[in-house]
Amino acid sequence: MSAAGEGGADAPAIGFDGVSMVYANGTEALTDVSLSVRRGEFVSLVGPSGCGKSTLLRLAAGFEQASAGSVRTDGAALGYVFQDATLLPWRSVRRNVELPGRLGGLSAERSRERAADAIRRVGLEGFEDHRPAQLSGGMRMRVSIARALTLQPKLFLFDEPFGALDEMTRERLNEEVASLFVSDPFAGLFVTHSVPESVFMSTRVVVLSGRPGRVVDDIGVPFGYPRPPELRYSAEFAAVAAKVSAALRRTGDPAEEGVAV
Ligand SMILES: Nc1ncnc2c1ncn2[C@@H]1O[C@H](COP(=O)(O)OP(=O)(O)OP(=O)(O)O)[C@@H](O)[C@H]1O
């Protein structure tokens, strides 16, 4: 059972309480997950492949209904960035980014303004008239982030958005998303298979067990923002990453081998 759009001024942007999820074919994806994320918190979800990370995001977005427990949001605007940029190939960058505003009933002028602002925030000024095929993978992902930004999300869901990118591009995009978070703190829920990425981005890293996923650890990351790129090479950073890796090892699932450390 789930209920969305409830809670007072101090309510978390997203709260899972005792959530279990069994798909119609009988696959048990999640069991008894309780977790909440407030604005100003950036929470990464890590865990073995197939442990239900994407399922949690889909529940947060209301794309799926939990089989048990409750999923509550504070009703504020939500942004979702998928693993693939999922752009319309025949539309320009500008027209891709304008799309959610138009579909959401904004005027053409307001959609244009929001799109221009979002394109500037992700550093794609000058590429407005390009089509997706004319962009690099990293730029396509920036378009996808800009498209979500036009909704002015207070809850931002990221489903392993940078997994397909090379390391340098991925690190740059990590820094850019972190700076979007600093400039207008949303509640972030970020799925990744990369331990360093989870630590670099987050205020907390939540570790899920193998399927059916349940929370096995919730590790605070004691660094402020903005985070300099060199942070990744510090002893303090390595210590937090080691904690996350150790928690993943405790999940005892062979799929954990797929987790980059
Ligand atoms: N619509 C669906 N119907 C049935 N089973 C599903 C459905 N969606 C996901 N599953 C199953 O639920 C489990 C959890 O899937 P989910 O995609 O949430 O895991 P994940 O942790 O995000 O995986 P990965 O890390 O590999 O992306 C998997 O076993 C998957 O096959």
88 alpha carbon to ligand 1 midpoint, in Å? Answer: 25
pTM of the model: 0.90
pLDDT digits (tens, 9 = 90+) for 102-138: 888 888 898 899 999 999 888 899 999 999 999 999 8
Residues 191 and 180 sit within 8 Å (Cβ to Cβ): no
53 alpha carbon to ligand 1 midpoint, in Å? Answer: 8
43 alpha carbon to ligand 1 midpoint, in Å? Answer: 20
Q: Is 1-76+154-261 CATH 3.30.9.10?
A: no
Q: Name the average pLDDT for the chain.
A: 89
pLDDT digits (tens, 9 = 90+) for 199-209: 999 999 999 99
The protein residue with its alpha carbon nearest to ligand 1, atom 30, reads 50
Strands (E), 10-113: 14-22, 28-37, 42-46, 68-73, 78-81
pLDDT of residue 9: 54
Q: Which residues are near ligand 1 (CB < 6 Å)?
A: 23, 25, 27, 29, 49-55, 211
To test the pocket of ligand 1, the residue of 19, 20, 23, 84 to mutate (highest count of ligand atoms within 8 Å of its CB) is 23
Query: How many other C-beta atoms lie within 10 A of the C-beta of residue 129?
Result: 10
Q: pLDDT tier at 225 (50, 70, 90 boundaries)?
A: very high
Is pLDDT above 60 for 226? yes
218 alpha carbon to ligand 1 midpoint, in Å? Answer: 21
pLDDT of residue 3: 43
Mean pLDDT to the nearest integer, 89-105: 90
Q: Which atom of ligand 1 is nearest to the CA of 21?
A: 12
168 alpha carbon to ligand 1 midpoint, in Å? Answer: 28
pLDDT of residue 8: 53
Q: How far is CA 73 from CA 17, 59, 80, 157, 241, in A?
A: 11, 10, 14, 13, 30
- What are the boundaries of each domain within the chain? 1-76+154-261, 89-153
